Amino acid sequence: MTHTHNPTSPTATLSVPEPYRDRVRTALSLAAAGVPVLPLRAGKVPFGNCRACTDNACGGRPHMKRAGSCRCPAVCHGWAAATTDSAVLASPAWAGPWREAQALAYHPGGARLTVVDLDNTDAVTWARDALPTTRTVPTTRGEHWIYLGAMRSANAVRPGVDIKSLMSYTRWLGPGTGTMTRLPAAIHALVEREEATPARGEVVSSSGRTEWDRSVATGCRHTERFVRTGLERGLTLVRSHPESGAGSQAFGVAQFLAAQHTACPGPCGLEALGWQVVAAAVSVGVPEPYARRAVTNGLSGTPATGRVS
């Protein structure tokens, strides 16, 4: 895919410094091809909601899981902000985010596509053996395999493998190579298995960590019921932010859990508690590295450096 500058295009008058206009031109080109796009901020995550849209007080975007009423012109609601409307992409409300953007993302499901995100060489090796060939895009650590057809998104359907389609975004890293093929049943089966047989308390992320139990908390002065009640309330809070804010909630929950155990002789199994908070954040779409960072900072008492939802 090539991108050429048209002096009469929306970017000609867009209040964005020249170095960033190439990203907007790419966004407009993708939008013209029917691919909904959005800018990503530092950390390569969506921009946070504006004050009016915080915690979905506005009702959310109409095309989200629960129909909403939001018509906010800003880049709100994470992946749901992705659009093919060139007037929105080049609007004054989006100029600020474009100036701050660190990357470009797209909504695969909105383009009737599914991205199999292979996060490492082992995952790529598995895909070459288990999945039909399709268009591939190199990533920093692995590859994106892109198929025709949309489906439910799911994280960590197997080690190092995420499915990005409906209700998710993925970074635009170029058009890739190869011919896109139809979404195979094997990928549907991965998500159906993940949905149908979740182990109670199992960490969703690829870390493979297990849930907290009394055996890892031999120096904790609290009862098991006390610890589990606090943990479950925290996990519920994190999971209640599927559109935005889950990363910040994960930080706060980790900070709260750590504060509960400051007077314990230890060990209290805080690492195991932390991995369950990470899993909750990943389950609602927070990238695992940022979930880990938020929880690690929360447990250590390090001040939050910004929202990582």
* The Cα angle at residue 96 between residues 252 and 290, in degrees rounded to 5: 30
Mean pLDDT, 10 residues at a time, the chain of 309 residues = 38 54 89 95 87 83 78 91 93 91 93 95 94 95 95 86 91 95 90 50 40 70 83 84 75 86 79 84 79 83 44
How far apart, in Å, are the Cα atoms of 58 and each of 46, 67, 68, 232, 244?
A: 18, 11, 8, 27, 13
pTM of the model: 0.61
Q: What is the reported pLDDT for 306?
A: 38
Give the residues across from 37 on adjacent strands.
Answer: 83, 106
Q: What is the reported pLDDT for 282?
A: 83
Q: What is the reported pLDDT for 205?
A: 38
Residue appearing with tokens 């991965």: 190
Q: What is the reported pLDDT for 18?
A: 62
- Kindly state the greatest CA–CA separation across the chain: 69
Edge-first strand listing for the sheet containing 113-118: 135-138, 143-148, 113-118, 161-164, 154-158
Tokens of 285: 């779409």
Q: What is the reported pLDDT for 301?
A: 67
How far apart, in Å, are the Cα atoms of 229 and each of 32, 171, 208, 298?
A: 50, 37, 23, 19
Residue appearing with tokens 């007077």: 263
Burial of 108 (0-12, 13-18, 19+ CB in 10 A): buried
Q: How far apart are CA 29 and CA 27, in angstroms?
A: 5
Tokens of 90: 């080049």
